[in-house]
Structure 1
Amino acid sequence: MNNTLHLFNNDAVQIAAHRGTAGANIPCNTITAFDIALRGGASILEMDLFKSADGEIFIFHTGKEPYQLNKDIDLTQLSSKEIRQLRLINVDFNATQWGINTFDEVLEHFKGRCILNLDRIGTCISDVIKIVERHNMREQILLKHAPTKKVLKIIEEIAPSYMFMPIYMEEDTASEMVENMNINYIGAELVFKTEQSPVIQPEYIDQMKKKGKILWGNAVLYDFKIPLSAGHTDDISLIESPEKGWGWLVDHGFDIIQTDWTYQCCKYLKDRGINK
């Protein structure tokens, strides 16, 4: 297992900035949002990728076009030239000066600076890996995906040395299979609706720790009706107490916390003495 997560810091619990740090006039999934997240203390940048109609890789969460572009379009059906002409909107639905960044731009900007977690790459893994190799940035890349047989086979064939984390929803459905493949399986993202879910039980956490696996917890709240961490979220951390959210995740063995509130989460970890 080749784990380079601590290549740029020695934090006991690392912070993954969900699409960077965005708000007001700063759109998410942009170089600007990623830069702000790093200044706020993040060591991992989580981002969403897609491929244009003519094959170029860009950074954007497809399906969110009406909310981030104020247009009812499908970016995957547009050419790279058309995508470059678009401008993202702010929280008041006014156009900003920010466009949609290419994957090449993001790689070059963050080369030698942090770990990049690439999400939503199931349909373009081969293209993504080729670009990463061209930039010579393999050690900075963390791949994370649902452990479908199709995706695992692709990872094994074209990216066996890349850090990889399967996403386990409620229970571990793939460890045995992944461990028997030529995949750099460094850990997993654990998603659980309740504290009774199998992946959050002490026995399972201890088992993963004994194997040397890194555990990724998700404090982000996409939808209050669909809990990702049994309610131990950014919201409860900010509104009530960080001990109920970020602190709970730390105390239950998570090595990485994904958050939309990078600075506040990092400050809590430092104030508590977990990180320097």
Structure 2
Amino acid sequence: MAQYRERLDKLLNQNSNCIITAHQGSAGGNIGYNTFKALENAIYAGAQFVEFDITKSLDGTFYIFHENEELIRLKYPELLKASHDDTIQQLQHYNMNNKPIGPVETLAEMMENMKKHPEIIMHVDHVSKWKGEILDELDQYEDQASQFIVKIDANNEEAVEAVRNHGIKFMTIVIIRNKEELERVLELTSEMNVVGIEILFESTDESHVQPDAIQMIHDHDMFVLINSIKLDNEEVLSAHADDEVSIFEDPDKGWGKLLDIGCDAIQTDWVAQLNNYLLKREAKRG
């Protein structure tokens, strides 16, 4: 199944070295995560995909925000999903100096703003939490369906079924953690518009990161996405070939290792640094 892929295929062809995916945009200074400014900043630094998270108010409005970060980002002790719009609309993101810098943006606002960057693809995360509700919401943006990809977990059967049974076959990334999940996803490609597989792994010895698994993905015309982000000092997403190893030790041991595995896209918190590395790596290879 291949729908809405024209922008994606163009990006993959133009960036055969690697697609850069910005995790919640590029924040810092006076720019907050999960805001249009953060996404636009990441685009200017070299990102081709921009990832953002979604949550929903009690009134049914979808917002661009990572659930459970309300206290640190907004100084708000409650979850947005347990709050009404009139309360959320009074909240502000805070910058590095704990100064208010702007409101929590709605999905509608983000979709409209991203029309300014038609060549960039949005990567809509936390779809597994909202399943059919967010898919129904996204139906109104079918005219932009070539500009966004929804992401779900292979181990969330309700989310898989929601995407599988939804009328509009949005481009989808599926997160896998083992070979069995990969094989299950590949069985559903006639019913789901799966364009990418995000691989999580703690060791490069795991079966779903071996050359045969990567080839299986590519044979189904899907790209391989790997996370180099480091969420904390405990969780491992890519066998420690992460952003911090890449920046503070040797990028060949981090981002380079992921590229050698065969990934087509890397999700990072440090877009400019990854972009610089990719340019240098390409130059070395002539």
How does the TM-score come out when normalised to structure 2?
A: 0.89
Partner of 1:129 in structure 2? Answer: 135
CA contact (8 A) 2:34 2:53 kept: yes
Question: Aligned equivalents of 1:199 and 1:144: distance in 2?
Answer: 19
Q: Is the 8 A contact 1:107 1:132 kept in 2?
A: no
- Tell me by how many angstroms 1:160 deviates: 5.1
- Could you say which structure has the higher helix fraction? 2
**Aligned match of 1:61 in 57, 61, 66?**
66
Q: Is 2:141 aligned against 1:142?
A: no
What is the CA–CA distance in structure 2 between the aligned matches of 1:126 and 1:95, rounded to whole Å?
Answer: 36
Tell me the secondary structure at the aligned position of residue 37 of structure 2: helix
State the alpha-carbon separation in 2 of the partners of residues 68 and 159 from structure 1: 35
Q: Which residue of 2 aligns with 1:105?
A: 109
Asked if the contact 1:170/1:193 (under 8 Å) is kept, the reply is: no
Q: Which residue of 2 aligns with 1:91?
A: 96
| 1:1-40 matches, cutoff 5 A | 1-2=1-2, 3-4=5-6, 5-7=8-10, 10-12=14-16, 13-40=18-45
Unaligned runs of 5+ in 1: none
- The CA deviation string for residues 153-184 of structure 1, in whole angstroms up to 9 with x for no partner, is 11122255211121112444153355335101
* Structure 2 alignment gaps of length 5 or more: none
Q: Deviations over 1:136-169 (max 9, x none)?
A: 2111111111122211211122255211121112
Distance 1:168 1:213 in 2: 13
Partner of 1:236: 245
Deviates more, 1:134-143 or 1:178-187: 178-187
Contact 1:19–1:29 under 8 Å retained in 2? yes
Given the alignment of the two structures, is residue 173 of structure 1 paired with residue 181 of structure 2, yes or no?
A: yes
Matched, 1:73 2:73: no
Letter in 1 for 2:54: L
Shift of 1:128: 3.0
Tell me: CA distance 1:172–1:45, structure 2 relative to 1, closer, same or farther (3 Å). Answer: farther
Shift of the 42–177 alpha-carbon distance from structure 1 to 2, 3 Å rule, reads closer
1:185 to 1:95, Cα distance in 2 relative to 1, 3 A: same
Q: Distance in 2 between matches of 1:36 and 1:102?
A: 18
Post-superposition Cα deviations, 1:59-80, rounded to whole Å, max 9, x if no partner, equal 0001011111122111111112
Q: Which moved more, 1:251-260 or 1:19-28?
A: 19-28
Deviation sequence 1:6-39 (CA, Å, 0-9, x none): 3457111101100000123211000110010000
- What is the CA deviation profile of residues 65-112 of structure 1, one whole-angstrom value per residue up to 9, with x for unaligned ones? 1111122111111112211111111234x1222211100010011122
Q: Normalized against structure 1, the TM-score is what?
A: 0.92
Q: Percent identity?
A: 28
1:48 is the counterpart of 2:53: yes
C-alpha displacement of 1:46 = 0.6
Task: Report Cα offsets for 1:214-261 as digits up to 9, x if no partner.
Answer: 100100000221110001011011101111111111111000100000
In 1, distance between residues paired with 2:277 and 2:29?
A: 23
Q: Supply the AA of the counterpart residue of 1:68.
A: R
Taking structure 1 as reference, are residues 130 and 137 closer, same or farther at Cα in structure 2, changes over 3 Å only? farther
Mapped partners of 1:273, 1:245: distance in 2: 16
Alignment size in residue pairs: 275
CA RMSD in angstroms comes to 2.1
